[in-house]
């Protein structure tokens, strides 16, 4: 992020929430609310004019849905990263949001420190899915459907994915550290954090998980 301010457009139709988010975000040394919008047309106009780094986009808006606005916002501001806001703990919303280009998904009940972490994660190029939704994603797996697991995989950072793939291939922590110019301690941190995100405990489970991802990609 090069110590530059993260410019944020907040799209929500609740004045109290907008005010609260403005106070929360502007209090951070690396963030500023560049604009707010309470409707679809205003959101599109603001996105085009401001070209923000981040758009916090509510799923439920008057007369429309944030999911319908999402691709339009990305057309107006191609470099913008969109983080969806919702009250709904529904993996179908999550799946649709990711498919349409969202880089994050966070519950409104978690709009405090978690939101700040989500914004910074998305700015680093990571996908952010709030941990509270992971059990629902896993529980919602349907016969023949791999999308919930794919969402879990997307929730990992690029480095975590690299480490997981190397572990699944049988490389040792020392070999992975040498390959990616990391310390063994750092590799261990990436490994434990990624395994927790994926809900896995053993290397055997990881190997099977990675195998399923490869099969679904064919």
Q: What is the pLDDT of residue 139?
A: 53
Question: What is the three-class DSSP state of 190?
Answer: helix
Q: What is the pLDDT of residue 186?
A: 93
3-state helix, strand, coil split of the chain in percent (to 5) is 55, 15, 30
What architecture is the 6-136 domain classified under in CATH? 3-Layer(aba) Sandwich (3.40)
Q: What is the pLDDT of residue 40?
A: 93
Nearest CA to 86 out of 59, 123, 49, 118 is that of 59
Q: Which fold has domain 156-217?
A: Arc Repressor Mutant, subunit A (1.10.10)
Q: 185: Cβ–Cβ under 8 A, 6 or more apart, which residues?
A: none
Asked if the domains 6-136 and 156-217 are classified in one and the same CATH topology, the answer is: no
Q: What is the pLDDT of residue 37?
A: 95
**What six digits make up the tokens of 102?**
């969202």
Q: What is the pLDDT of residue 24?
A: 94
CA gap 107, 91 in Å, rounded:
12
Residues of the chain with pLDDT under 50: 1-2, 140-146
Q: Where are the domains of the chain?
A: 6-136, 156-217
């Amino acid at each position: 992020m090069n110590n530059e301010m993260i410019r944020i457009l907040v799209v929500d139709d609740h004045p109290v929430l907008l005010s609260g988010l403005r106070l929360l975000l502007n209090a951070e040394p690396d963030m500023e609310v560049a604009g707010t919008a309470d409707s679809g047309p205003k959101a599109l106009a603001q996105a085009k004019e401001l070209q923000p780094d981040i758009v916090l986009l509510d799923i439920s808006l008057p007369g429309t849905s944030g999911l319908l606005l999402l691709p339009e916002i990305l057309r107006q501001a191609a470099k913008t990263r969109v983080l969806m806001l919702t009250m709904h703990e529904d993996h179908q919303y999550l799946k649709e949001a990711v498919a349409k280009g969202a880089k994050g998904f966070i519950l409104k009940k978690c709009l405090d420190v978690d939101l700040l972490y989500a914004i910074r994660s998305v700015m680093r190029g990571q996908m952010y899915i709030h941990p509270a939704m992971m059990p629902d994603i896993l529980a919602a797996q349907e016969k023949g459907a791999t999308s919930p697991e794919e969402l879990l995989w997307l929730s990992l950072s690029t480095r975590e994915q690299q480490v997981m793939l190397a572990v699944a291939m049988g490389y040792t922590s020392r070999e992975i550290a040498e390959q990616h110019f990391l310390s063994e301690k750092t590799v261990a941190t990436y490994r434990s954090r990624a395994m927790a995100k994926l809900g896995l405990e053993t290397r055997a489970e990881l190997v099977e998980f990675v195998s399923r991802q490869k099969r679904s990609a064919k």
